Structure 1
Amino acid sequence: MRIAFVGKGGSGKTTLSALLTRHLAGSGAPVLAIDGDINQHLAEALGHTGAALDAPPLGAHVRDIKEYLRGTNPRIPSAEAMIKTTPPGHGSRLLRLLGDDELHARHVRHVGDVPLMVTGEFDESDLGVACYHSKLSGVELYLGHLVDGPGEYVVVDMTAGADAFASGLFTRFDMTFLVAEPTRKGVSVYRQYRDHAREFGVRVAVVGNKVTGEDDLLFLKEEVGDDLLTHLVHSSWIRAAEQGREQGELEAHNVHALNVLREAVDACDKDWPTTHRHAVDFHLRNARAWADDRTGADLATQVDPDFVPGQDTATARRAGHPV
């Protein structure tokens, strides 16, 4: 099950991404964390210290990722003909979560007991000539070719604000948690996300953060209504962890909130046809808007009309592709 954490910058979405990931990993569940934020701090939030994590960034290996994932799909003649929205078809390599394949082997590193992949930071060559969404191409391709199921979790710390709507990536999740502080600015992103998400049937639940009392909680309830799933209270444990200090155990209320998040995810039905329909829709949008001109090809032909990931795993397995 794919989980996105979104919200205003500074709302605590990276902290909550790390908390839920560690909570899931601690229960023994298969889980992968992905840092998809322009500010790459998820490794530190998961407890990494010292030198920078040596995880090869997805954003720097997009061509290699395309070359691997296209497999023997006859609709994709080369990596250059493949864009971030190109959906899988017969012959494509499908992935199992943390499977024994070259993509996971190259990009996954462990922070404690948590497997992590990163998109990578901006560097000097990107400034003024690229947007961060080019870095997210690897994440979009990964999720587009991933066949995951109940009891398996991918937790993605997304870019701040409503930037996720600049691509179809926001439709690739089974559940999106919008982290909101109890302030007017804290809930402003919620309204943007709610309206866009409803158009595509994307599940969004609000998680209140840094709640200090009944007034904060009442404010959130008045602003977001039934979309408020749960909330976390101000945490001395989190502050100590952010300062590099260990301090007992996470507060009981906040542990309960993490359990509520997991229960909400587990209650979601995996809807492969809808997910794939969104993927095809955004691929065709990108093809018409820019990609046909850039590649010199009709990228609508990359869509395999008889293929739905998650419903074609038996076919892929017979073809010898990892699923």
Structure 2
Amino acid sequence: MDITTWMSNHTGWADFILVGLFRQSQHPALLCVVIFLIFLMALSGNAVLIILIHSSAKLHTPMYFFISQLSLMDMMYISITVPKMLLDQVLDVSTISIPECGMQMFLYLTLGGSEYFLLAAMAYDRYMVICHPLHYPMLMNHRVCLLLASGRWFLGSVDGFMLTPVTMTFPFCRSQKIQHFFCEVPAVMKLSCSDTLLYDTLMYLCCVLMLLIPVTVISGSYSCILLTIHRMNSAEGRRKALATCSSHMMVVTLFYGAAVYTYMLPSSYHTPQKDMVVSVFYTILTPVLNPLIYSFRNKDVTGALRKMLSVGPVFQETVK
């Protein structure tokens, strides 16, 4: 018996039903168009940022390497949920098979966990460049950056491998309807007809650990950064240091705030409508905001973009 047949027999049906965003909207067609435009903006904005970072020699630094990794993750993150959601709306379909649901859950858990640690690596990078500028090129070389990047993928996949199989092997018999637009763990677990108290506790502890380690790194890094900035005699140096860190702190606040609400607040704070709004924020809106935060507030990125746009027409004329 294959895994698909076993899971279907174990749960009692072959498919889940995603209630989704559009059934909650009075103007589903308009909402569909808006989300599609946001999806295109997220893909194009992050793709442009990745191209700029890899094509401009001035941006070949650890900070921009991590930003390009964040952009790549944002493109993958929004692609997990939005294309299926839009396609289902166009085709008037609302079902998702159990293997598809499990794969979607695993991918967003892996990417979410990886992003926690990526943001911690970015904070550590800012700490090194501000607090240890003389040793920075040696301590944050290309090998170290690759090690940090591969490490956060590994830690993120551990989160996915831990939670997905256990969640998907629970018996679901309360309803087929997932009160969400994708297979998020808390929304799926509400369908289980067995006692999930122990699993909820373990999931809570797992999420605390997954959040606690990066938050500790981020808090420690920025505490040292603030002390270093306070000791600076140059007002210009203080301004540059704060500007360097402010963009990252905005992204950290957006992403971690949504994660704390989803996985750490008691169930009494949650309703299906609130959960979907928060999930829209960190799965759909955040991937659009991140490239805007890192581009409009960064002179190096805007300078590289102007240079690329000015070189484009000259290159085209040369080719002709």
- The TM-score bracket by the shorter chain reads under 0.3
TM-score by length of 1: 0.25
Q: Compute the TM-score of the two structures, normalised by the length of structure 2.
A: 0.25
Kindly indicate which of the two structures has a greater share of residues assigned to helix. 2
The structure with more radius of gyration:
2
Q: Which structure shows the bigger proportion of residues in strand conformation?
A: 1
